[in-house]
Amino acid sequence: MATLRMRHLSRWYGEVVGVSDINAEIGPGVTGLLGLNGAGKSTLLNLLAGHLGPSRGEATLDGEPITGNWAVYTRLGFCPDLEKGFSDLSGRGFLVHHMRVGGFSWRAARARADALLLSHGLADAAHRRAAGYSKGMKQRLKLAFADIHKPDVVLLDEPLNGLDPPGRAAMVRQIHEWAELGRTVLVSSHILQEVESLTRRVVLIHRGRLLAEGDVSEIREQMDEIPRVVRVGTHDRLAVRQALAGMPSVVSLQDEPRDGTLLVETLRLPEFLDAFHLRVVRERWSITRLESPDERLEAVFHDLLERQGGTRSAGQ
């Protein structure tokens, strides 16, 4: 089990802020690192991988500083978004080269490379030029590269970017398998639906600063001043509408003409749901739909952006 901690972690490029004053903790399982393009995700991952040193603050793995610490580096696996570095090497040669640089013997490097290529579905392409691989194959090779040391922590920078549906499904399976092994997996993405398919635990950053971290529902619970939307579908529309309009926990009520549902806004979601369920049981209403679209990651992220002066269309 491994835990990453960031304390006032900051990195500047001259007058340009990469990330600023990040305080967060990431434990075993899958955590999504979410932000728009340019939010600082890649900078943060490179700091956590030890490829960059912080301008201020510190990143640690189980209490040990990451920067310049070779003992920690072998516990970290990194899959960058960039596709440079394959050169004219074969897939096998690419892995062997990096393992030799990392201190593996020739025999150990070749054996480990063959095992990784097999487990990541690249055995048949082991001797082909890696630069000529398809997008999906390059992503799998980078995953194999990240898995060289069987690391406790895996850092993935936009791993689903550009993959077709089968490649995406395979990538998601691999990420979940690592999590089931007890590894700490941090996956960056600017596409909310991708992160939501992987985990409910997220770190949200915007313009280099931390917006929120934790489970999506926990983050939403902390946003008390923002009304929560509940969508209600029913065969007893008139009676349900009249009852909803009279509930003290309801802030507003609207008809949704596209699907005939009712959109309820409330600042006290648990209180509203308890009262509504009691009325449903007592009145024996037929309820066909009851959901809160505001509980989705996309809604939470955009509400947080609006707090920071962003726009609702920014994450699309």
Domain boundaries, the chain: 4-86+133-220, 224-307
pLDDT at 224: 59
More confident residue, 296 or 6: 6
- Cα 230 from chain centroid (whole Å): 25
More confident residue, 270 or 45: 45
Give the tens place of pLDDT for each residue, 96-109. Answer: 999 998 889 999 99
Burial of 247 (0-12, 13-18, 19+ CB in 10 A): middle
Q: What value does the CA radius of gyration of the chain take, rounded to a whole number of Å?
A: 24
Q: Compute the distance between CA of residue 183 and CA of residue 170 in angstroms, rounded to an integer.
A: 18
Return the CATH class of domain 224-307. Answer: alpha beta
More confident residue, 72 or 302: 72
Q: In which region does residue 81 sit, left (phi positive, over 0), alpha (psi from -120 to 50) or beta (all else)?
A: alpha
Q: Residue 141 pLDDT more than 70?
A: yes
Mean pLDDT of 41-60: 95
pLDDT band for position 122 (cuts 50, 70, 90): very high
Q: Which of 180, 194, 185 is nearest to 147 (CA)?
A: 185
pTM exceeds 0.85 for this model: no
Superfamily of domain 4-86+133-220: P-loop containing nucleotide triphosphate hydrolases (3.40.50.300)
pLDDT at 168: 83
Please check whether residue 245 is in contact with residue 253, taking contact to mean a CB–CB distance below 8 angstroms. Answer: yes
Q: Residue 50 pLDDT more than 80?
A: yes
Which residues make Cβ contacts (< 8 Å) with residue 293, sequence separation at least 6? Answer: 229, 231, 299
The secondary element (H helix, E strand) that includes residue 256 is strand 250-256
Q: Compute the distance between CA of residue 209 and CA of residue 222 in angstroms, rounded to an integer.
A: 18
Q: Is 127 helix (H, G, I), strand (E, B) or coil?
A: coil
CB atoms within 10 A of CB 234: 20
Q: Compute the distance between CA of residue 208 and CA of residue 214 in angstroms, rounded to an integer.
A: 18
Average pLDDT, rounded, for the chain:
87
Two tokens, residue 261: 């549902």
Looking at 13-17, 127-131, 242-246, which range is the least confident one? Answer: 13-17
pLDDT at 35: 83
Mean pLDDT of 266-272: 82
Q: Percentage of residues in the chain with pLDDT exceeding 90? A: 55
Please check whether residue 308 is in contact with residue 211, taking contact to mean a CB–CB distance below 8 angstroms. Answer: yes
Q: Residue 165 pLDDT more than 90?
A: no
Q: Residue 313 pLDDT more than 50?
A: no
pLDDT at 85: 67
Looking at 16-25, 173-182, 214-223, which range is the least confident one? Answer: 214-223
Q: Compute the distance between CA of residue 167 and CA of residue 169 in angstroms, rounded to an integer.
A: 5
List the 29-34 sheet strands across, edge first: 76-79, 153-157, 184-189, 29-34, 201-206, 209-215
Q: Percentage of residues in the chain with pLDDT exceeding 70? A: 91
Q: Residue 310 pLDDT more than 60?
A: no
Mean pLDDT of 30-44: 89
